[in-house]
Structure 1
Amino acid sequence: MEFQPHSISYKSQGVGGNTNPPLFHNGEIFVTSGYDHPGLMFSLSDDGNEIELKWQNETLDNHHGGVVMVDGNIYGANWQHNAKGKWVSVNWESGRTNWETEFVNKGSIITADNMLYLYEEKRGNVALAQPSTDGLKIVSSFTMEEGAGPHWAHPAIYNGKLFIRHGNVLMIYNISE
């Protein structure tokens, strides 16, 4: 297979790091990059050569913590001028914000077994939450106290274990029970 680049169908008008990978589902792509730029949903043509803007959402402008989709809704944290951020849920199909709420500060998010794992970037708060269109439903939480510096590394889950790195420390939590 040979990679054949296509012409650019869309170019962002903003500046910033664009550190988040896009989410792809059923011929649509969601992109977000923080810095007060809206999250954008694009529809791809059947041949994949053209894209069309489907909707934009001003609330979910994720900086670098990533976004996930569970049951037709996007979850992540927004940017709010790099000082603070809130956690957000947006409907994949309509682009409507389901909710925006505080959980200490913005951070990274992953999903496994139909649950959300949040890792807040300033103080290291970690939360297990149920996906919901009615608000952030935290099941349990704790604070990652080992390590130093910002809590920017994304958590990972493998074989019933939650891996969280903070600076030069890697903590492993058993989440299989």
Structure 2
Amino acid sequence: MGNTQWYLFDYGMVISNAPTPEDWLNLEDAAGVALMDPGSPYWRHRLDFDAGRTTSVDYWSRVTGREVTPNQTNLLDTLDANQWSHFNLETIDVLEELSSQGARLALLSNMPAPMVARFEEASWTGYFSKMYFSSTLQLVKPQREIFEHVLRDLGVEPGKVTFVDDAPVNIASALELGIDARLHQPGIDLQLELVGP
């Protein structure tokens, strides 16, 4: 196993900020159902979508409670990607700084296939030499197997990976494997924590 240090970042709520209320309203208008609440069908059916076990048509049909057309699905996928496209500029600054120092950066995100396809050419992907998506791997955080896959592919010991994620359950899973996992929360100075003063 190699000795190279890697920085492994989550996407949603780390690189991107939370969707705005206006984003949710636009998506709800298109879907015809309330979605913002944590117990909404958007979230209840999300894990299967993120894991690549559900197609867009199936996912949005479950979310809306009716059969949706491919055109409607395309609109919903686009609005969904758009609402997760508000960058956390502080994290972007950290990625820029780490990149300028020659650090090795990787991404690990629970993300459905249509969103992955829409982000393929996004500017932020250029920071990462490795990107891992749940829908591609058909594994989701916090499954131990997804972290094991990343470690094997990077070819490093767990202690050589610093992982940044906003979900405590994902942090706990990574820590169990010996990964240096850091919980990202509002107000944390990521620059100070990862790069130093």
- Which is bigger in relative contact order (C-alpha 8 A, separation at least 6)? 2
**TM-score for both structures, normalised by structure 2:** 0.26
- Name the one with the larger helix percent: 2
- Name the one with the larger strand percent: 1
**TM-score for both structures, normalised by structure 1:** 0.28
